[in-house]
């Protein structure tokens, strides 16, 4: 039977990476609100590298769990039923912390998704407003190629 500490080490490593993702996701909210596209792009790249590391730890976790049950259906909950009480308690504690982190991460990602959707709708609305104004006025140039005098394209529509 494998050492439970190996599994706990892998789970703690995964948890630290998920906490990093949660931290980045929280910072993303501010970046999205302020429209800092380059910073958002950089954060997404960092998230990608964290996800790659998570994938490796996930494989390690699955290998360890497979040593307890080679059917591939072993879960932390099932393993807790097979372990001595103190080891099961340690695993349940990690499992609960994981659930809390993943819920917070999911909630934050939903907020960011909503903010991004609102930003996209606003940009599309603005483009539509400007485009319809340009179509109605046949562009921004006059007959002789000079620029027509407008105080603001958007003001006319509003």
For residue 79, the domain's CATH number is: 1.20.58
Domain count, the chain: 1
Is 27 a domain residue?
Answer: yes
91 domain residue, yes or no: yes
Task: Tell which residue, 156, 158, 153, has the closest CA to residue 140.
Answer: 153
Average pLDDT over residues 87-106: 95
Backbone angles phi and psi of 147, in degrees to 5: -75, 130
Tens of pLDDT along 114-126?
A: 998 988 888 888 8
| Average pLDDT over every residue of 127-147 | 64
pTM equals 0.76
147: helix, strand or coil: strand
Name the residue among 137, 138, 132 with its Cα closest to residue 158.
132
Note the Cα 53 to chain centre separation in Å.
15
């Amino acid at each position: 039977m494998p050492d439970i500490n190996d599994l706990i080490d892998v789970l703690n490593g995964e948890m630290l990476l998920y906490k990093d993702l949660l931290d980045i996701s929280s910072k993303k909210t501010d970046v999205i609100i302020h429209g800092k596209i380059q910073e958002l792009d950089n954060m997404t790249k960092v998230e990608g590298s964290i996800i790659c590391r998570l994938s490796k730890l996930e494989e390690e976790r699955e290998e360890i769990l497979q040593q307890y049950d080679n059917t591939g259906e072993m879960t932390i909950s099932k393993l807790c039923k097979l372990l001595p009480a103190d080891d099961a308690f340690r695993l349940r504690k990690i499992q609960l912390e994981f659930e809390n982190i993943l819920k917070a991460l999911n909630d934050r990602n939903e907020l960011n998704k909503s903010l991004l959707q609102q930003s996209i709708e606003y940009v599309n609305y603005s483009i539509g407003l400007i485009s319809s104004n340009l179509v109605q006025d046949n562009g921004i140039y006059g007959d002789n190629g000079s620029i027509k005098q407008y105080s603001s394209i958007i003001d006319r529509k509003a």
